[in-house]
């Protein structure tokens, strides 16, 4: 660089009176210190990308050994070569680099493309594993480790110095399932969606528990005393950390969605807002010691439906592939840096008893926690978790770089056994990633666990899924049971009526759900045809796709395509509303009218059921039955008779008959009325 050229001395160059030395080649110079940091970062990224590419070129190796294991081995080799060369191993795996640079892209990718429907349907189970399971693991591992350290006679001077609070802190660090390790292994074995969302959702949501326990035990270890009030404040701080992280992420997600409403004239910066707002949410949460992972998950999940409706298709593609690329490189670097940090011998203190007890207790606590919680959860689940599911959930509890980074952050003043903690953490990480990660795929095939279906759902399946949602919501309305379908429908209507009008630009918020889904599928099919190149395009493109295309120059009259008129399009929309989305409202109004009536013995017709007859009438005319109500009947030959309690209200019979006639003749809501359609996910 030119600014540094004057600092480099050349003893063989001539010197003028002022002492300045003249260089024979003033343009050429070597100044590695000027570019050292970005150059080394580029080398690490290049190494990670080449290794990732090389593993997939050798399918025999990648089918046997998970990619994460191979990357750790590469890190071990690189670190070993650096040590053999006599150089100092660079501190690549420090906490700031990990938490501020490497972890956010992976979590944002997971949150932005999180399958919302299975996640919300299994949220109760995920929270049980993430909160109760992590608390159980932390106290079980920490408490028994303290007991082991006290009863062990072999190392009385070393392990007996460990107190209860440092052991509990170590248990809270080592108990949390790592999302990076789970993603790396579970994406290769293609496990079914239920097990994947349970384990991965647990790894995401247990961050709040880990953060609270880590800071609480770190504070208590420094203070030396714990009171009952401290325990109560700890529970409150967990709620603050978890809900605060979600709230921060949701606020930034809504801001990103609102900003994307005004980017129609500047499409090139649309992806930038998604990345910057998400990163700001993570940093804002970390600033106040809230859960940064939950903030990123909430931000990505909240912004996606609104941002996707506002941005262009090219921006959507940019966001998708940039997030995938960024998260893939970060994941690769994390595992390589784990291997490099292992070779660095500065922070190692091996203790056979402590390390062995840690590995065994991690396995025992995980199995006992999953089995015990599943026994409770299955009492409330419709789809029960089988024994095979429990085994995969327990076996998939992998640890990773988050535990290592949290251990790296410990203060040696308050935790003199920090090096022993780090050695045990690395051992547990290697055991879970290598042993469990390498054997889980053969075990899944051996147990014949259901795999993930690669085929995407068809339009028929989408329509029937929405139909069943409406049907279940209607059943809950009729029964008077306010279940999650009822509240989901209320949320969808609030979203459609208020939120989408504020966050989505143009007429997209008014587009009916079925037409919007058809438009999306048609655009996707057209893009696939264009990318294939050899496929023949249809002779007449659909008018739905052509409505938003504005030709830049005049098109000849014979080449112009016919378009739907506004009246015709409105007629189609009314038909769709009436036939597909009005069934529940009609049934609801009919049921309401029936409940308003006050039936009496004189007004309600008697229903006769002939149990011996194999035939039954196709319909019963209730009006004719009302006319026959005064005729005497003999109960001897009537079969089974159902009657209402007898009351004398003959003066209101005409009024009640009019109500019944009005109820039976009511065709339901008018098709021209406004209707709040459900939110299009």
89 CB-near residues (< 8 Å, 6+ apart): 79, 82, 83, 340, 341, 343, 344
106 within domain boundaries: yes
**Same structural domain for residues 147 and 268?**
yes
Rounded to whole angstroms, how far apart are CA atoms 281 and 104?
Answer: 10
Instruction: Give the Cα separation of 238 and 255 in Å (integer).
Output: 26
Task: Output DSSP code: residue 20.
Answer: P
pLDDT digits (tens, 9 = 90+) for 204-253: 888 888 888 888 888 877 666 777 787 788 888 888 888 999 999 999 99
Secondary structure of residue 153 in the 3-state scheme: coil
Q: Looking at residue 659, what is its pLDDT?
A: 54
If one compares 119 and 520, the residue with the highest pLDDT of the two is 119
Of 312-321, 386-395, 648-657, the one with minimum mean pLDDT is 648-657
196 and 297 in a single domain? The answer is yes
Q: Which of 638 and 416 is assigned the larger pLDDT? A: 416
Question: What's the CA gap between 68 and 62, in Å, rounded?
Answer: 10
pLDDT > 80? residue 254: yes
pLDDT at res. 671: 42
Helix (H) or strand (E) holding 608: strand 607-609
Domain count within the chain: 2
Torsion of CA 352, 358, 359, 363, to 10 degrees: 150
Residue 650 within any structural domain of the chain: no
pLDDT at 368: 93
- Sign of CA pseudo-dihedral 560, 566, 567, 572: positive
Q: How many C-beta neighbours within 10 Å does residue 215 have?
A: 16
Cα separation, 84 vs 417, whole angstroms? 28
**Sequence-distant (≥ 6) Cβ neighbours of residue 128 within 8 angstroms:** 373, 376, 377
Kindly give, in sequence order, each residue whose CB lies less than 8 Å from that of residue 21, ignoring residues fewer than 6 positions away.
9, 10, 11, 13, 14, 15
CA distance 49 to 90: 20
Please check whether residue 492 lies inside any domain of the structure: yes
Do residues 411 and 493 share a domain? no
Q: What is the pLDDT of residues 429-478, one digit of tens each?
A: 999 988 888 888 888 888 888 877 766 777 788 888 888 888 888 888 88
Residues forming beta bridges with residue 640, ordered by sequence position: 609
Q: Any idea of the CA torsion for 371, 375, 380, 383, to the nearest 10 degrees?
A: 60
Pick from 365, 364, 362: nearest CA to 354: 362
361 has a pLDDT exceeding 50: yes
In a domain, 459, yes or no: no
- Are 403 and 523 part of one and the same domain? no
Cα–Cα distances in Å, from 509 out to 466, 504, 517, 676, 679? Answer: 18, 6, 13, 11, 9
Q: Phi and psi for 609 in degrees, rounded to 5? A: -125, 110
User: Which of residues 362, 385, 419 is at a domain's end?
Assistant: 419
- What is the C-alpha separation between 590 and 478, in angstroms, rounded? 10
Using one digit for the tens of pLDDT, what is the confidence trace for 81-110?
A: 888 887 777 777 777 888 898 899 999 998
pLDDT of residue 153: 58
Provide CB contacts within 8 A for 645, sequence distance 6+.
601
Q: Which DSSP letter does residue 598 get?
A: -
Same domain, 497 and 409: no
Could you give the CA distance from residue 331 to residue 670 in angstroms, rounded to a whole number? 56
The answer to whether residue 109 sits within a structural domain is: yes
Q: Which residue segment(s) compose the domain that 190 sits in?
A: 95-328+399-419
Do 177 and 255 fall within a single domain?
Answer: yes
In 81-216, the DSSP E strands lie at: none
Q: Is the per-residue pLDDT at 10 higher than 70?
A: no
Same domain, 204 and 304: yes
365 in Cβ contact with 140 (< 8 Å): yes
Partners of 607 in beta bridges: 642
Q: From 331, 392, 391, select the one nearest 192 (Cα to Cα).
A: 392
Task: Evaluate whether residue 491 is within a structural domain.
Answer: yes
Please state, as a whole number, how many other Cβ atoms lie within 10 Å of the Cβ of residue 55: 18
Give the bridge partners for 641, in sequence order.
Answer: 608
Beta-carbon contacts of residue 668 (< 8 Å; ≥ 6 apart):
582, 585, 586, 589, 590
How far, in Å, CA of 421 to CA of 219, rounded? 18
- Considering the domain boundaries, does residue 287 fall inside one? yes
Mean local confidence (pLDDT), 618-625: 48
One domain for residues 111 and 195: yes
- Residue 302 CA to residue 326 CA, distance in Å, equals 21
Domain boundary residue, one of 495, 528, 561: 528
Burial of 118 (0-12, 13-18, 19+ CB in 10 A): middle
Q: What does the pLDDT look like over 48-74, one tens digit per residue?
A: 888 888 887 887 777 778 888 888 888
Which of residues 528, 559, 585 is at a domain's end?
528
What stretches of 533-616 show up as alpha helix (H) in DSSP? 543-546, 566-580, 583-596
What element of type H or E holds 12? none
Buried b (16+ CB within 10 A) or exposed e, 609-620: eeeeeeeeeeee
Three-state DSSP class for 212? helix
Q: Minimal CA–CA distance to 370: which of 530, 168, 518, 195?
A: 195
Residue 608 lies in a domain: no
Rounded Cα gap, residues 69 and 553, in angstroms: 57
Instruction: List the one residue out of 371, 368, 362, 374 whose CA is nearest residue 398.
Output: 362
């Amino acid at each position: 660089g030119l600014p540094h050229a004057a600092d480099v001395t050349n003893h063989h160059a001539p010197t003028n009176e002022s002492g300045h030395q003249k260089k024979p080649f003033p343009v050429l110079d070597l100044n590695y210190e000027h570019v050292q940091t970005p150059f080394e970062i580029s080398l690490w990224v290049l190494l990670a990308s080449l290794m990732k590419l090389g593993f997939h070129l050798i399918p025999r190796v990648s089918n046997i050994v998970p990619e994460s294991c191979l990357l750790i081995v590469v890190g071990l080799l690189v670190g070993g070569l650096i040590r053999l060369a006599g150089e100092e191993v660079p501190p690549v795996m420090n906490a700031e680099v990990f938490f501020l640079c490497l972890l956010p892209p992976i979590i944002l990718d997971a949150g932005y493309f999180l399958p919302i429907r299975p996640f919300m349907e299994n949220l109760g189970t995920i929270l049980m594993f993430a909160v109760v399971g992590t608390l159980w693991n932390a106290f079980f591992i920490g408490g028994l480790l303290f007991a082991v350290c006290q009863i062990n006679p072999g190392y009385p001077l070393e392990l007996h110095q460990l107190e209860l609070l440092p052991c509990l802190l170590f248990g809270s660090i080592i108990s949390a399932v790592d999302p990076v390790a789970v993603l790396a292994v579970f994406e290769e074995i293609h496990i079914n969606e239920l097990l994947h969302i349970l384990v991965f959702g647990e790894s995401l949501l247990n961050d709040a528990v880990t953060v609270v326990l880590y800071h609480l035990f770190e504070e208590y270890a420094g203070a030396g005393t714990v009171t009952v009030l401290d325990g109560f404040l700890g529970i409150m701080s967990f709620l603050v950390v978890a809900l605060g992280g979600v709230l921060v992420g949701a606020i930034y997600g809504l801001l990103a969605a609102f900003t994307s409403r005004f980017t129609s004239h500047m499409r090139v910066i649309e992806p930038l807002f998604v990345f910057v707002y998400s990163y700001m949410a993570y940093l804002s949460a970390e600033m106040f010691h809230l859960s940064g992972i939950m903030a990123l998950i909430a931000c990505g999940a909240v912004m996606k439906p609104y941002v996707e409706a506002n941005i262009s298709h090219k921006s959507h593609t940019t966001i998708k592939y940039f997030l995938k690329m960024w998260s893939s490189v970060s994941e690769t670097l994390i595992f390589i840096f784990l291997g490099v940090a292992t070779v660095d011998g500065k922070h190692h203190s091996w203790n056979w008893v402590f390390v062995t007890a840690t590995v065994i207790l991690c396995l025992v606590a995980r199995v006992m926690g999953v089995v015990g919680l599943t026994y409770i959860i299955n009492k409330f689940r419709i789809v029960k978790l089988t024994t095979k599911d429990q085994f995969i959930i327990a076996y998939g509890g992998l640890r990773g770089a988050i535990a290592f980074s949290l251990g790296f952050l410990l203060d040696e003043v308050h935790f003199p056994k920090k090096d022993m903690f780090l050695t045990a953490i690395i051992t547990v990480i290697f055991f879970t990633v290598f042993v469990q990660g390498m054997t889980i795929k053969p075990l899944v095939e051996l147990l014949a666990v259901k795999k993930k279906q690669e085929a995407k759902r068809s339009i028929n399946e989408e329509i029937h899924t929405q139909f069943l949602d409406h049907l279940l919501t209607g059943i809950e309305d009729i029964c008077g049971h306010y279940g999650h379908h009822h509240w989901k429908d209320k949320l969808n209507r609030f979203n459609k009526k208020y939120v989408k009008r504020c966050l989505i630009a143009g007429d997209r918020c008014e587009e009916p759900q079925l037409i919007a889904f058809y438009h999306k599928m048609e655009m996707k099919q057209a893009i696939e045809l264009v990318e294939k190149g050899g496929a023949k395009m249809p002779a007449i493109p659909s008018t739905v796709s052509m409505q938003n295309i504005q030709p830049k120059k005049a098109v000849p009259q014979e080449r112009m395509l016919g378009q739907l008129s506004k009246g015709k399009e409105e007629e189609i929309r009314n038909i769709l509303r009436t036939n597909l989305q009005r069934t529940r409202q009609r049934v609801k109004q009919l049921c309401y009218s029936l409940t308003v009536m006050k039936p009496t013995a004189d007004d309600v017709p008697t229903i006769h059921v002939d149990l011996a007859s194999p035939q039954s009438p196709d319909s019963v005319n209730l009006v004719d039955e009302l006319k026959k109500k005064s005729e005497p009947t003999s109960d001897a030959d009537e079969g089974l008779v159902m009657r209402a309690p007898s009351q004398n209200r003959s003066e209101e019979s005409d009024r009640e008959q009019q109500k019944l006639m009005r109820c039976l003749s009511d065709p339901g809501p008018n098709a021209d009325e406004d209707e709040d359609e459900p939110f299009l996910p």
